[in-house]
Chain A
């Protein structure tokens, strides 16, 4: 069992703790936060030890008990906390984005390589049950060569006060860094190729990314984050040369009849994805191998997110180069 510390007991922490509790491969030993209540509440719920303070003080006090750290803090602290964990020879699972810039993310990747610890980034879409099936069909050759990917993910408005870190692009990285890295990573994972073009459009709470690949494959991905509170929406179509796969979160739709129009209830599959992700992290540590979502993958997604942001701001298309992009 891999012994974990969870740093950051805010949003997502309960899902991560539940995934650890359900796993046979890892266990949550410490719940750490600078907010005493957040740390103690989660520790109590997860039957773990609470630590109030930063990662350095945690690692000084744990006498080597913790083998790996999950970084679940606001985006602008991800890379610093990850670097601290790596410096202390701990494996690390970092919520996306790995950093607020591709260069900063690449520095984390380099340090992890140098230290010989496992670095994994939580590009959770790869672990969602429907996506796993699509990828499996593709990897088995059932769909042939991928030609077109279309995905949409609609989220409810960011919860929390207007002044919270998610509403502040300087702390979250903005929509491209905070959300679009999911779609970009998903496209790179499914098409298994580096894009040549990125064209993007954005509004304050919605964006669209259009990727072109050398093979002729193409991807159109949309993300909206401003919908009313309630269930989200997820939909994906992957068209291959021999077949196609369609995935969405409608297969578990339940209808509730209470008069007037039926109400739709979508069964949330996120929990099983988070559990699968955590198990992959634990297995990679145990087997001494690179996790299926590596630091290099996260850097690649961030580089394209930066190009997409530049495309959107300029109205031009970003043509990707070895080292960056050229707008035209």
Chain B
């Protein structure tokens, strides 16, 4: 069957982020035709959806089955609360739609298994949204695959983001946590990014994890018993040593929105990606201390991910981060969190 000139896209919820569906806006091979969601979604979710629909210039139509019937989309873009990811993605796959889904893939490995099963049974493509199209990550992968540093031996990723999450742990200030605060823990939610970088650069999965977590900064994390920082050691395929440091470290802790640092040690050399070194730094009179000084010169990361999706849809090939790969990342996070609770290394469960 030949590929359509433009793939029709239906956005299923924009509760979490709008940047995933917006990456499809004005793309020559995609046409976003509508926004939909479950009618039972929370009021604030409907408000987010209406805003997204207005930004895209398309209608918002609660009621997913009716929206699918009306728009006959090829692709569903799911960016709901994480707890609804599996339900919406499975529903879309069962309707024969390719699925692009926001992170985290799902709260549990069992939910991920349900997505994998639905996607594979329906024979549709699944893309877990990621940041592997950053130029430095792509170049690192090319260097490793070209053998420039020999056989990979170890990989480490720092992934720090500096945006605050409410009042600090030891503050007396009262805090009202908004309804749309969805934090399930920073390793849980954001761990996809560094773990996807590791997988992309080396092409290897984690086998065992040892983790430490802490609610070190923010009261709302501590009160909900979730982590804002974590360290993870990984035993990876082919004996490679992996590790990551991740955290929401607070606005004062970084001059930019955060830090990505990747270290890869090989048998014949090593490579470092140090994103905090600004490509462009701007300093002006009257600049607020809270304004980031460093600016990324490449803002096309999301767009390139969509470009790569076109190829996967046209050819039936793998996406940049498939359902099985995403499932393994969630299983790795689950093993690290279990290890943090038990103080012992834990196996990463494999899919069947």
**Residues of A at under 8 Å CB distance from B?**
145, 147-148, 150, 152, 154, 197, 199, 201-203, 206-208, 210, 212, 216-220, 222, 224, 226-228, 233, 235, 237, 239-244, 246, 248, 250, 315-317, 319, 328
Contact = CB atoms under 8 A, between A and B. Distances in A.
A208 B233 contact: yes
Contacts of A316: 344-345
Interface in B101-118: none
Interface in B260-303: 261, 263, 265, 267-270, 272, 274, 276-277
Interface residues of B, number: 45
Nearest to B216: A147
A215 to B, nearest CB: 8
Given A148-B231, A242-B250, 10 more contacts: A148-B216, A152-B263, A154-B265, A206-B265, A218-B229, A219-B231, A233-B270, A235-B263, A239-B216, A246-B276
Contact of A244 (B253, B265, B268, B272): B253
B181 to A, nearest CB: 21
B153 interface: yes
A87 to B, nearest CB: 43
Contact of B245 (A148, A207, A212): A148
A222 B272 CA distance: 14
21 contacts: A147-B217, A152-B263, A197-B212, A197-B343, A199-B233, A202-B241, A203-B153, A206-B265, A208-B154, A210-B212, A220-B243, A222-B156, A222-B263, A239-B249, A239-B253, A241-B217, A243-B253, A244-B250, A246-B276, A317-B343, A317-B345
Given A152-B156, A210-B231, A328-B343, A239 B263 contact: no
Interface string B143-172: 000000000011010101000000011100
Contacts of B156: 150, 152, 208, 220, 222
A242 B252 contact: yes
B231 A220 contact: yes
B190 interface: no
B214 A150 contact: no
B210 interface: yes
A144 to B, nearest CB: 9
Contact of A228 (B154, B217, B268, B272): B268
Contact of A226 (B233, B267, B274): B267
Given A239-B247, A244-B254, A246-B276, A206 B241 contact: yes
A227 B270 contact: yes
Contacts of A315: 208, 235, 345
B203 interface: no
Contacts of B241: 201-203, 206-208
A181 B304 CA distance: 45
Per CB-CB distance, the 3 closest pairs between chain A and chain B, nearest first, are A216-B214, A244-B253, A147-B216
B212 A218 contact: yes
B344 A328 contact: yes
A199 B344 CA distance: 9
Nearest to B218: A241
Contacts of A239: 160, 216, 229, 247, 249, 253
A210 B253 contact: no
B274 A250 contact: yes
